[in-house]
Amino acid sequence: MNLLKLSWKYLTHRPLTTGLNVFLLSLGLAIITVLLLVQDQFEKKMTQDAEGIDLVVGAKGSPLQLILSSVYHVDFPTGNIPMEEAIRLSRSRLVKQTIPLALGDNFQGYRIVGTNHDYLTLYQAVFSEGEAWNEPFEVVLGAVVAEKSGFKVGDSFSGSHGISEGSHDHDEHAFRVVGILEPKGNVLDRLVLTSIESVWFTHDESETKDESSENESDHHEKFHQEVAKTGFPESDQEREVTSLLVQYRSPMAAVQLPRMINSNTSMQAASPSFEISRLFELLGVGVKILEGLAYVLIIISGLGIFIALYNSLKERRYDLAVLRAIGASRFQLLLLILMEGLALTFLGSILGILLGHVFLAALASQNETGVGAGLEAWIFLPAELWIVIYALGVGLVGSLLPAWSAYRTSIADQLMKK
Amino acid sequence: MLFHTKDLQFAHPGQSDYHFPDIALDAGESLLVLGKSGSGKTTLLNLIAGLLAPKSGTVVLDGVEVNALQGVKADRFRGENIGFVFQKPHLLAPLSVKENLQMARYFSKKKGLGLESLLEELSLTSKANSSVSSLSEGEAQRVSIARALINRPRLILADEPTSSLDDENAHKVIDLLQKQAEKIEAALIIVTHDQRVKDQISNFIQVQPS
Give the DSSP per-residue string, A108-174: TTEEEEEE-HHHHHHTT--EEEE----STTEEEE-HHHHHHH---TT-EE--EESSSTTS-B--SS-
Domain count across chain A: 2
Residues A174-185 have a mean pLDDT of 91
Please tell me whether residues A335 and A266 are part of one structural domain. no
What CA–CA distance (Å, rounded) separates A181 from A358?
29
Test mutation, B43, B107, B144, B192, chain A, max A CBs within 10 A: B107
Please tell me whether residues A212 and A348 are part of one structural domain. no
Q: Which residues on chain B are in Cβ contact (under 8 Å) with A325?
A: 49, 78, 84
Residue A42, pLDDT score: 81
Please tell me whether residues A85 and A119 are part of one structural domain. yes
Please tell me whether residues A150 and A32 are part of one structural domain. no
Please tell me whether residues A120 and A242 are part of one structural domain. yes
Q: Give the pLDDT band (50/70/90) at residue A210.
A: very low
Please tell me whether residues A266 and A288 are part of one structural domain. no
Q: Considering A244, A270, A296, which residue would you say is the last residue of a domain?
A: A270
CB atoms within 10 A of CB A39: 15
Please tell me whether residues A324 and A256 are part of one structural domain. no
Query: Environment class of residue A336 by beta-carbon count within 10 Å: exposed (0-12), middle (13-18) or buried (19+)?
Result: buried
Asked, for residue A95, whether it belongs to a domain, the answer is yes
Asked, for residue A167, whether it belongs to a domain, the answer is yes
CB contact under 8 A, B90 and A319: yes
CB contact under 8 A, A327 and B90: no
What CA–CA distance (Å, rounded) separates A342 from A344?
5
Residue A206, pLDDT score: 58
Please tell me whether residues A240 and A321 are part of one structural domain. no
pLDDT, one tens digit per residue, over A218-230 is 666 677 778 888 8
Which SS3 state, helix, strand or coil, does residue A306 take?
helix
Asked, for residue A348, whether it belongs to a domain, the answer is yes
How near does any CA of chain B get to the CA of A335, in Å?
14
What CA–CA distance (Å, rounded) separates B129 from B113?
18
pLDDT, one tens digit per residue, over B45-100 is 888 988 888 989 999 999 999 988 888 899 999 999 999 998 888 899 999 999 99
CB contact under 8 A, B45 and A416: yes
Please check whether residue A116 is in contact with residue A102, taking contact to mean a CB–CB distance below 8 angstroms: no
Measuring CA to CA, which residue among A28, A23, A55 is closest to residue A250?
A55
Q: Which domain holds residue A175?
A: 55-270
Please tell me whether residues A123 and A256 are part of one structural domain. yes
Q: In this prediction, what percent of chain A has a pLDDT beyond 90?
A: 48
Q: Considering A240, A270, A300, which residue would you say is the last residue of a domain?
A: A270
Q: Phi and psi for A161 in degrees, rounded to 5?
A: -75, 150
CB contact under 8 A, B106 and A2: yes
Q: Give the helix ranges, DSSP H, for B50-166.
A: 71-81, 97-106, 115-121, 137-149
How near does any CA of chain A get to the CA of B150, in Å?
10
CB contact under 8 A, A416 and B151: no
Q: Which residues contact B165 (CB under 8 A, 6 or more apart)?
A: B137, B138, B141, B173
Asked, for residue A30, whether it belongs to a domain, the answer is yes
A375 vs A103: which has the higher pLDDT: A103
* One-character DSSP codes across A388-408: HHHHHHHHHHHHHHHHHHHHT
Q: Which residues contact B5 (CB under 8 A, 6 or more apart)?
A: B20, B22, B23, B24, B47, B48, B57, B58, B59, B60
Question: How big is the CA angle at A276 (ends A380 and A246), to the nearest 5 degrees?
Answer: 115
Exposure of A390 in the CB half-sphere (CA atoms within 13 A): 20
With the C-alpha atoms ordered A63, A67, A69, A75, is the resulting torsion angle positive or negative?
negative
Q: Considering A270, A299, A323, which residue would you say is the last residue of a domain?
A: A270
Q: Give the pLDDT band (50/70/90) at residue A168.
A: low
Q: Is B108 on the interface with A (CB under 8 A)?
A: yes
pLDDT, one tens digit per residue, over B88-125 is 888 999 999 999 999 999 988 787 888 999 999 888 99
The chain A residue lying nearest B76, using CA atoms, is: A327
Please tell me whether residues A202 and A83 are part of one structural domain. yes
Q: Phi and psi for B23 in degrees, rounded to 5?
A: -120, 140
CB contact under 8 A, B159 and A324: no
Asked, for residue A73, whether it belongs to a domain, the answer is yes
Asked, for residue A80, whether it belongs to a domain, the answer is yes
Q: Which residues on chain B are in Cβ contact (under 8 Å) with A413?
A: none
- Length of chain A equals 418
- Where do the domains of chain B lie? 3-206
**Domain B3-206 CATH superfamily:** P-loop containing nucleotide triphosphate hydrolases (3.40.50.300)
Asked, for residue A277, whether it belongs to a domain, the answer is no
Instruction: Tell me the residue ranges of DSSP E strands in A206-290.
Output: 240-241, 243-248, 267-270
What CA–CA distance (Å, rounded) separates A382 from A212?
63
How near does any CA of chain A get to the CA of B159, in Å?
8
What CA–CA distance (Å, rounded) separates A23 from A143?
39
Q: Which residues contact A165 (CB under 8 A, 6 or more apart)?
A: A106, A108, A109, A369
Q: What is the ipTM of this complex?
A: 0.90
Q: Give the pLDDT band (50/70/90) at residue A213.
A: very low
How near does any CA of chain A get to the CA of B83, in Å?
7
Please tell me whether residues A41 and A60 are part of one structural domain. no
Please tell me whether residues A116 and A241 are part of one structural domain. yes
How near does any CA of chain A get to the CA of B29, in Å?
22
